[in-house]
Copies of this chain bind each other. A is one copy, B any other.
């Protein structure tokens, strides 16, 4: 349960397989019928596990849409600390979140997750709520770098603003060509932030 990616024993591999089966089943059903029309029972039926098992992996059915798993969160926290000390905090956030997006895009379910969110933008805030872990990791890392308290206004503002910028960028990307890379949008958002949100 380290969060690392090694496929050690059979038990660990089966857990990963079950989690991914649930995710695949849920997302494909979401695309077929719409999120509201899919029940946990439907998902488990397609994934061939007991309905009770779903809640051993996710706390709510929308959680399968969150692209930031514990691996990504853990690596992001470390990534923040690995950045050169002289880089300004906003640049650190930009770099680190760009990498997080790359990692999320590597997941096999990424395209379908993105498509569900594109078709149901009303779910984005729920994803953001579920993305608190990523925000917390970012805030912790930045606080450490800056030698400030984790609950400092500046630290909290940096982290929450960076996550917001990422969300906004991804939304813009969703509305654009799906085959376009999301990085251009992220770069533009962080550029605007660094300019104090003045018009370009």
Contact = CB atoms under 8 A, between A and B. Distances in A.
Does more than half of chain A's interface fall in helix, strand or loop, or is it mixed?
A: helix
Pick from A171, A196, A197 the residue with the most CB of B within 10 Å. A197
- In the complex, which range does the number of interface residues on chain A fall in? 35 or more
A196 B146 contact: no
A20 to B, nearest CB: 27
Given A125-B132, A129-B129, A196-B195, A160 B156 contact: no
A186 to B, nearest CB: 10
A169 interface: yes
B193 A196 contact: yes
B153 A168 contact: yes
Interface string A36-61: 00000000000000000000000000
Interface string A147-180: 0000101101110110011011101100100000
A189 interface: yes
B158 A197 contact: yes
B160 A167 contact: yes
Nearest to A148: B199
A198 B90 CA distance: 8
A153 B188 contact: yes
Given A125-B132, A160-B164, A154 B196 contact: no
Contacts of A164: 157, 160-161, 164
B200 A154 contact: yes
